[in-house]
Homo-oligomer: A and B are copies of this chain.
Amino acid sequence: MTVDNIAGEAVARVRERVTVSEVGPRDGLQIERAMVTTDDKVQLIEALADAGLTRIEAGAFVNPKVVPQMADSREVLARVRRRPNLRFGAFVPNVKGAELAIAAGAKDLKAGIAASDSFNELNVRMSTEAGVAVMANINAVAKAADDVQILGVVATAFGCPYEGPVSRDRIYRLFGQLVKFGCPVIYLADTTGMAIPHQISELVDDLRRRWPAQAIGLHLHNTRGLGLANALTGLQAGVRDFESSIGGLGGCPFAPRAVGNISTEDFVHMASGMGFDCRLDLDRLIHAAIIAQDMLGRTLPGMVMKAGPASVRFEKGEPSVKLD
């Protein structure tokens, strides 16, 4: 299936490239309480690669006592098939994690630092500044390895659930440090889904004025239903790098305030429908979302996996009562 011209209308815009990085196997699964088997993780990652994804975050090298779901990341990375144009990533909180990730074959190291001190302290028990120092060390390890790069994340970029709005100065300072590390993309993360659409374009515009050469990505959560609206303003502001989770993985039925990333297939359905070139097979993404859903045994929040893309035609069946 092609989702080009999903509206049946010519889209005048040149088909600009949008890169989607899949973080479901890491950011999606990390909060799941029931252990997902290594076999299941490998199967999901292969299905994601089959859909054409070129960046997949396959795991995290964090303390297995804190995040038991990620304890088998080395094995997952050992078993997934290497393909041309596919880079596997891993989340790493420190140098030890970075060394383990590189040894396991991860090429994209993700390191996140919250712009909010409160949030960073609670998450990794250090200040934002201390986090930057740790990242400098991670960066040195990455630079010494072959074809390894660091992806930066400014977490809580659109607000902290404890502190509220985060000052622009703090964001500029952290972002500027990440630029110095040579991150090919720096993601602005709406960690707990606090962003209101106009804030996305305002922050992106501000950062681009200061660092015009730096690629800015978005890592969005759908906590307050604004994930795709925020992604849309990102696209409008010129952002071309997005992280997302297949099926919207990451929501947790036992913790309604921990809501997943934007759904990969829902985002691709929107962006492709708007004429952007995601180079992904939507049918296969939906297939992967269903694999993830079956794996977890509960309904995932993704919508296109349930309704099908807007291009689907239905047979004329029963009269409905849907009058508007």
Q: Which residues of A does B touch, CB under 8 Å?
A: 6-9, 11, 27, 30-31, 62, 66-67, 91, 93, 110, 112, 118, 122-125, 153, 155, 159, 161-165, 187, 189, 191-199, 202, 219, 222-226, 228-229, 231-233, 256-259, 263, 266, 269-270, 273-275, 302-304, 306-316, 319-324
Q: Give min CB distance, A307 to chain B, whole Å.
A: 5
In the complex, what distance in Å separates the CA atom of A62 from the CA atom of B165?
A: 49
Q: Give min CB distance, A212 to chain B, whole Å.
A: 23
Q: Give min CB distance, A267 to chain B, whole Å.
A: 9
In the complex, what distance in Å separates the CA atom of A226 from the CA atom of B302?
A: 11
Contact check, B197 vs A67: say whether CB atoms are below 8 A apart: no
Q: A307-B257, A314-B161 are in contact. Are A196 and B7 (CB under 8 A)?
A: yes
Q: Give min CB distance, A124 to chain B, whole Å.
A: 7
Contact check, B224 vs A225: say whether CB atoms are below 8 A apart: no
Q: A155-B324, A161-B313, A225-B263 are in contact. Are A196 and B274 (CB under 8 A)?
A: yes
Q: Give min CB distance, A20 to chain B, whole Å.
A: 15
Contact check, B314 vs A162: say whether CB atoms are below 8 A apart: yes
Contact check, B123 vs A320: say whether CB atoms are below 8 A apart: yes
Q: Which of B62, B110, B159, B263 contacts A310 (CB 8 A)?
A: B159
In the complex, what distance in Å separates the CA atom of A161 from the CA atom of B318?
A: 13
In the complex, what distance in Å separates the CA atom of A273 from the CA atom of B227?
A: 15
A–B complex contacts, Cβ < 8 Å, 9 sampled: A27-B324, A91-B324, A123-B322, A162-B313, A164-B313, A195-B310, A198-B274, A224-B310, A225-B303
Residues of chain B lying within 8 A (CB to CB) of residue A187: 324
Q: A223-B307, A229-B231, A310-B194 are in contact. Are A322 and B258 (CB under 8 A)?
A: yes
In the complex, what distance in Å separates the CA atom of A164 from the CA atom of B314?
A: 9
Closest to A168 in B: B9
Residues of chain B lying within 8 A (CB to CB) of residue A163: 313
Residues of chain B lying within 8 A (CB to CB) of residue A231: 229
In the complex, what distance in Å separates the CA atom of A232 from the CA atom of B196?
A: 11
In the complex, what distance in Å separates the CA atom of A113 from the CA atom of B18?
A: 38
Residues of chain B lying within 8 A (CB to CB) of residue A310: 159, 193-196, 224
Contact check, B259 vs A303: say whether CB atoms are below 8 A apart: yes
Contact check, A324 vs B110: say whether CB atoms are below 8 A apart: yes
In the complex, what distance in Å separates the CA atom of A302 from the CA atom of B301?
A: 12
Closest to A198 in B: B274
Q: Give min CB distance, A256 to chain B, whole Å.
A: 4
Residues of chain B lying within 8 A (CB to CB) of residue A306: 256-257
Contact check, A319 vs B198: say whether CB atoms are below 8 A apart: no
